[in-house]
Amino acid sequence: MEPWGYIIIALIIFLVIIVIRCLCIVPQACVYVVERLGAFHKELRTGPHLLVPFLDRVAKKVSLKERVVDFRPQQVITKDNVTMQIDTVVFFQVTDAKRYTYGVENPMMAIENFTATTLRNIIGALELDSTLTSRDTINKDITAILDDETDRWGIKVMRVELKNILPPREIQESMEKQMKAERERREKILQAEGEKKSQVLVAEAEKESKILRAEAEKEAEILKAEAEKQATILRADAMREKKVLEASGEAQAIEMVQKALADSLRLLNDANPNDAVLRLKALEAFSKAADGRATKIIIPSEIQGVAGLVSSLTAVAGNGSSGTDAAK
């Protein structure tokens, strides 16, 4: 092969290398910071780009994805002089590739140190109990402070979480005893409340039972009284009907007697009785009136004559029967 052939091949290879160096393809969620002759030139977003060979270079490739950094535990002291270890987790995202590239030399170290100092300041103003029960408040305070300070570095702090809070061993044992005593106290309270509710339910059940029994007895007394009332009414109605029937029968009997008496008087009047018969009827009426119950009887003169007449008739009748016996 001729020497100029080697030269052509070398030129072709050189051109290919230059084209490859000039062509820059930026992936999704990334930004390339380009410098020209050592100074910032521009930012390259997602897609293909051409660079000026020997003048432009990619100074930094920045990812715009949200990142999670777990920092090592930090020793902090609470307001009541309790030393504990707290490790934090920071969620952040790069929002400005230029400021992220030129704002700070080591962004991760800067964020870690700033998180540690901020955490010490916040925990130093709290007591142990408040530190253990105020995680959300501490997280929000650290997030707000970090987000404000890291904005000049092109970083957006999404949130900061306290991963672990580790107090000294003796404090942990004391807390465990305290929690055990608290659980026992709550258990006793729950048992007492359960017994109280049980007693209340039993008392309410007895009360309702007594009320129901009283109502049942009341209804039974009412029904009994109504039954007695109905029975009394029925007995009264029966007696009334009986008396009405008896009075009706007596009235009918009296009416029949009076009618018979009137008929006998009418017949007697039709027969034209003489004075002797009338006196005899008066004597019969007088005997009925006396009926053996009166202790003193005043006999009218007319009846005395009738009585004498009767005695005379009796004597005559007796004489007549004696003569007859003698004749026989």
Sign of the dihedral defined by the CA atoms of residues 209, 210, 213, 219, in that order? negative
How far is the C-alpha of 247 from the C-alpha of 316, rounded, in Å? 48
Contact 136, 162 (CB under 8 A): no
| Structural contact between residues 68 and 157, judged by C-beta atoms closer than 8 angstroms | no
Q: How high is the pLDDT of residue 283?
A: 60
Per-residue pLDDT tens for 164-210? Answer: 888 878 877 777 888 888 888 888 999 999 888 989 999 888 888 88
Assess contact for 47 and 32: CB atoms under 8 A: no
- CB atoms near residue 143 (< 10 Å): 19
Both structure tokens of 18: 């230059």
pLDDT given at position 298:
54
The 10s digit of each residue's pLDDT in 204-243 is 888 888 898 888 888 888 988 888 888 888 888 888 888 8
Residue indicated by tokens 């059940």: 205
Average of pLDDT values for 1-8?
71
Please name which of 70, 74, 78 lies closest in space to residue 86, comparing C-alpha atoms: 74
pTM: 0.51
- What pLDDT is attached to residue 309? 45
Specify the CATH class of 67-167 in words: alpha beta
Please provide the size of the chain in residues: 328
Look at residue 316 in the predicted model and tell me its pLDDT: 41
Kind and range of the H or E run holding 323: helix 301-327
User: Which pLDDT value is given to residue 184?
Assistant: 87
* DSSP SS3 for 36: strand
Amino acid letter for position 70? D
Residue 97: its pLDDT value, please?
A: 92
> Has residue 304 got a pLDDT over 60?
no
For residues 8-43, one letter each, b for 16 or more C-beta atoms within 10 angstroms of the residue's C-beta and e for the rest, the string is: eeeeeeeeeeeeeeeebebeeeebbbbbeeeeebee
35 — pLDDT class (breaks 50, 70, 90) = very high
Phi, psi of 73 (to 5 degrees): -55, 145
Both structure tokens of 227: 């039954």
Contacting residues for 140 by C-beta, under 8 A, at least 6 apart: none
> Where is average pLDDT lowest: 99-108, 256-265, 274-283?
274-283
Band (pLDDT 50/70/90 cuts) for residue 154 is very high
Q: CA 308 to CA 295: how far, in whole Å?
A: 22
DSSP H or E stretch at residue 12: helix 3-22
Q: How far is it, in rounded angstroms, from Cα 53 to Cα 30?
A: 22
Residue 153 in contact with residue 133, Cβ under 8 Å? no
Looking at residue 246, its amino acid is E
pLDDT in tens, 286-299: 555 555 555 555 55
- Alpha carbon distance, N-terminus to C-terminus of the chain: 219
pLDDT of 2: 64
CB atoms near residue 138 (< 10 Å): 22
- Confidence (pLDDT) at 23: 84
Task: Give the pair of three-digit tokens for residue 48.
Answer: 């293909």
Q: Residue 262: its pLDDT value, please?
A: 72
Residue 63 pLDDT > 80 = yes
Residue pointed to by tokens 């970083």 = 155
pLDDT of residue 51 exceeding 90, the answer is: no
Residue 259 pLDDT greater than 50, yes or no: yes
pLDDT at 306 over 50: no
